[in-house]
């Protein structure tokens, strides 16, 4: 597995990470705990060193899962987790929705360290920007945790360019995590140039469009109401039918390259910048191996130009989130 550095930081990780949310959040039915532990360990054996979780996934269960699965590999892997939601000790969600108060950040750090069975959090993201707490205060709280030796690196998730700049001025931001793929390219407008200028790494989540870019989801597929995709406008049958042209494009390139559509989608992301590290999520070993195979797929300048000119003619239908969720992004 190739390695990459996140921006100007010294944080080196595998070129592809593993998003662990789906093992216990948003995509029911969840696998057996033993199966998830086996998959996490299989990822390490195959060279993956970057694992993504969050307090809110479960809540708490996902961090506990990673803590148990990755304990034998302490010091060999990088674990990223997140704070920022108002969660009660019993796991129920508090009335505030978001909470990035300095006291709460300190509480989450201590609790996450215990659940993850580690001495220091490698990368601590603010999960969503809290409009009620100045980003300078958030960055200051994480800076204190770094000075105390509880956290190594500070990250932001789905933040806007101005917020990134303000945070970075207080405590250097190592990585931004936001959605980015061939079917969601908004970060190219303002975010990616800002990250490049400031020397911040980019960690795209949903790099396979929540599964759509794999080519395994057509207009006839139905989603259980417990599946997050059942609430997403982009996943209505009409939108899926309209958006199939993007999957067809990936299939065309994949056939030329003797690869799969998913591998082309990931290889395209890896080709955009050397400091981009996608974190596709999966609960299946064959998908993990397929995703890892994307690192070996080389797209030439001609290939990228072919994708670019074809993609430019495609209009993606449907919003990526319901309106109330979308409001929490890009602040």
Catalytic residues: 57
Between CA 127 and CA 281 the distance in angstroms is 17
User: Strand 85-87 to strand 93-98: parallel, antiparallel, or no bridges (unpaired)?
Assistant: antiparallel
> Up-side HSE of residue 58: CA atoms within 13 Å toward CB?
22
Neighbour tally for 90: CB within 10 Å? 7
List of residues 6+ apart from 139 with CB closer than 8 A: 154, 166, 167, 168, 169, 170, 171, 173
Q: Which long-range contacts (CB under 8 A, 24 or more apart) does 228-237 make?
A: 228/26, 228/27, 231/322, 232/318, 232/319, 232/320, 232/321, 232/322, 233/318, 233/319, 233/320, 233/321, 233/322, 234/183, 234/209, 234/316, 234/317, 234/318, 234/319, 234/320, 235/210, 235/318, 236/318
User: Strand 12-14 to strand 3-5: parallel, antiparallel, or no bridges (unpaired)?
Assistant: antiparallel
The H-assigned helical ranges of the chain are: 33-45, 61-70, 102-116, 135-147, 161-170, 191-198, 237-257, 261-272, 285-293, 301-311, 323-326
Between CA 286 and CA 228 the distance in angstroms is 23
Give strand pairing partners of 124: 81, 154
The DSSP result for 192-208, as a single string, is HHHHHHHT-EEEEESTT
Between CA 329 and CA 127 the distance in angstroms is 10
């Amino acid at each position: 597995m190739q390695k990459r550095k996140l921006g100007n930081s010294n944080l080196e990780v595998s070129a592809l990470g593993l998003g662990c949310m789906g093992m216990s959040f948003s995509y029911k039915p969840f696998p057996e705990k033993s199966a998830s532990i086996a998959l996490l360990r299989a990822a390490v054996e195959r060279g993956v060193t970057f694992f993504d979780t969050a307090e809110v996934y479960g809540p708490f269960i996902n961090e506990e899962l990673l803590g148990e699965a990755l304990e034998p590999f302490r010091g060999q892997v990088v674990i990223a987790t997140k704070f920022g939601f108002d969660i009660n000790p019993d796991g129920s969600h508090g009335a505030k929705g978001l909470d990035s108060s300095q006291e709460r950040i300190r509480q989450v750090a201590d609790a996450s360290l215990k659940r993850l069975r580690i001495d220091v959090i490698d990368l601590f993201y603010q999960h969503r920007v809290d409009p009620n707490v100045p980003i300078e205060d958030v960055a200051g709280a994480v800076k204190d945790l770094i000075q105390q030796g509880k956290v190594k690196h500070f990250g932001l998730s789905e933040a806007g360019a101005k917020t990134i700049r303000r945070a970075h001025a207080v405590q250097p931001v190592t990585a931004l995590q936001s959605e980015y793929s061939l079917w969601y390219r908004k970060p190219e407008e303002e975010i990616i140039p800002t990250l490049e200028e400031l020397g911040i790494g980019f960690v795209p989540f949903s790099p396979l469009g929540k599964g759509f870019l794999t080519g395994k989801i057509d207009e006839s597929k139905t989603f259980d109401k417990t599946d997050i995709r059942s609430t997403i406008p982009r996943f209505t049958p009409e939108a899926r039918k309209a958006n199939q042209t993007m999957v067809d494009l990936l299939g065309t390139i994949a056939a030329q390259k003797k690869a799969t559509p998913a591998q082309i989608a990931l290889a395209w992301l890896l080709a955009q910048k050397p400091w981009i590290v996608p974190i596709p999520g999966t609960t299946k070993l064959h998908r993990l191996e397929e995703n890892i195979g994307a690192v070996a797929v080389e797209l030439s300048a001609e290939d990228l130009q072919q994708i670019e000119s074809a993609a430019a003619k495609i209009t993606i239908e449907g919003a990526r989130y319901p309106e109330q969720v979308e409001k929490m992004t890009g602040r």
